[in-house]
Amino acid sequence: MRRLLVLFALLIWFALPLAGQPAPVFLILSDLHLNPFDLEGLSKRGQDSSVQLVVSALDEARRQCPQPQFILVTGDLLAHRWEELYAENKPPLGFDEFTVQTVADIASQIQERWPDTPVLTVPGNDDSFDGNYQVRPGGPFLKRFSEIWAPLSGSPLLVRETLAQGGYSSFPMPGRPDRQLIGLNTVLFSANRVGMDDGSRELEWLDEELTRAASSGQRVWLAMHIPPGLDNYYTARAFEAGRSDPLELWRPEYLAGFLEVLQRHSGLVEVAFAGHTHRDDFRLILPDVPCKIVPAVSPVYGNNPAFLVYRLDLTSYQAYYLDLESPNWKLEYDFHETYGLASLDIAKLEAMLVPGSPAADAFSRYYSVSGPSEVTEANLEVYRNSMLYLRP
């Protein structure tokens, strides 16, 4: 018995960070929406990211997170209205080459600051040669996207083919060999992908990857651009107008297929991360699969720019933001200190969001990254429901 107690104590000891050493962390960036034609200082609220804003965000992320185990980039590298911006500014390169050059410049900026850190990147709906939500599996954009981002993953031979084929990839988690990172291209599942129905192969691939991870004794983390569930902004505006008119982000058949795959591998997926909404939000994909929605670097929808530094043990994260009124980067909040939770327990969090409570006030303030808040006591119910229910 004594030997078992000693062994247990040693396991606990080696599981803890060394004294004076920071706990292992990873960095999450989302929705950079770089406008390479905007060279006039930091962006204003309501604009996509200027060159200076992206540089400032990456510099601050480097200061706050100099040695992440890995970096997640959850899509939408390019500015909104990308084709129009190109046509208005008439750069010397052709459209496709200029698009590739912009994506490559972002990759280069990240690699320059974290040269030895693996990066998992997924495409967003604005990342395409063919228009918003129109990226084609196996098409020329994803081929070039793969050529840029596969080398930064640290596992280029594992990810290049699937990244080029469908914008999805999978490789062992740096620092946690008992975990597998899977990046999904959820643009293929989007309800806005009108006239295109090509997400089934990705679901088959996900099923195969989860089977492989299970056979290797690994658990899985997911990264994606568009989260499953409701479009909170549209749904809340409809609620305020007296209409029950929720808007789903994914096509129902793909949501059903996705949930079926995860349920078939129950207990395997530990957590998910997404972007797209530009908001600091949460989803419960399944009772045991929480999803953290990461706020955007771009302030185009009224939010302040932000990024997250997340503990590798998933007990907390820190949100850092640029106060556009100052403008200064600062710590916005620490998840554990703000909500008193030791994990991303969405059900407990939702139960805390009683109108007028400190937790509800914090959620309302941070939802738009300390920008003008769209969450009120009157519509809080919409945001609470969307945390727990992916369907209306």
Q: Do 214 and 178 form a contact (C-beta atoms < 8 A)?
A: no
When pLDDT is averaged across residues 43-67 and rounded to a whole number, the result is 97
* Least confident window among 44-58, 227-241, 255-269: 227-241
Share of the chain above pLDDT 90, in %: 88
Residues 6+ apart with CB under 8 A from 126: 33, 76, 77, 78, 79, 80, 82, 132
Topology of the domain covering 23-388:
Purple Acid Phosphatase; chain A, domain 2 (3.60.21)
pLDDT at residue 251 in the model: 97
Burial (CB count within 10 angstroms: exposed 0-12, middle 13-18, buried 19+), residue 322: buried
When pLDDT is averaged across residues 185-213 and rounded to a whole number, the result is 97
The pair of three-digit structure tokens given for residue 1, joined into one six-digit string: 């018995």
Which one-letter DSSP state was computed for residue 191? T
Alpha-carbon distance 340 to 349, whole Å? Answer: 9
Cis peptide, bond prior to residue 358, ω within 30 of zero: no
| Three-class DSSP category at 18 | coil
pLDDT tens digit sequence for 280-328: 999 999 999 999 999 999 999 999 999 999 999 999 999 999 999 888 9
Q: How far is CA 33 from CA 101, 275, 341, in A?
A: 14, 12, 32
pLDDT value at 360 more than 70: yes
Alpha-carbon distance 68 to 22, whole Å? Answer: 11
Alpha-carbon distance 101 to 122, whole Å? Answer: 17
pLDDT tens digit sequence for 236-282: 888 888 888 889 999 999 999 999 999 999 999 999 999 999 999 99
User: Judging by DSSP bridges, how do beta strands 25-29 and 306-311 pair with one another?
Assistant: antiparallel
Which sequence spans correspond to the domains of the chain? Answer: 23-388
